[in-house]
Amino acid sequence: MAVDILEEFRTIVRDVVREELAALRTGTPTPADSGPMLTVAQAAASLQVDVKTVRTLAYNGAIPFTKVGKQLRFERAAIEAYRAHGSRAA
């Protein structure tokens, strides 16, 4: 039974990773969009800008971010605030 659960977990993780990698390559939003944290590609899609613009806004302090390994992650609320006000999202 424990082996079945472990294998199911591995399958789920593998599928999620594949979806996220595909989304990063194409810039297409994924079902993970409903979560509180967004990838650079998801933030760019939400703001309707290029991913380079999102990175620039983040590094210039206009949008707060968190690093997960080497990847940037954005709180959905911060992206929505920036989109609504077009300025620093605090």
Q: 0.75 exceeded by the pTM? A: no
**Farthest CA pair distance, the chain:** 53
- Report the pLDDT value the prediction gives residue 34, as an integer from 0 to 100: 53
What pLDDT, on a 0 to 100 scale, did the predictor assign at position 88?
A: 54
- pLDDT 10s digits, 1-58: 677 888 888 888 887 788 778 777 776 655 544 568 999 999 999 999 999 999 999 9
> What interhelical angle do 40-47 and 2-26 show, nearest 10?
50
| Residue 30: predicted pLDDT | 53
Rounded Cα distance, 31 and 55, in Å: 22
Burial class (CB in 10 A: 0-12, 13-18, 19+), 64: middle
List, for residues 25-41, the tens digit of each pLDDT value. Answer: 776 655 544 568 999 99
Query: Rounded distance, CA 12 to CA 42, Å?
Result: 21
Q: Are 46 and 40 in contact (CB under 8 A)?
A: no
Domains and CATH numbers, the chain: 2-85 (1.10.10)
Checking if the pLDDT of 85 tops 90, the result is: no
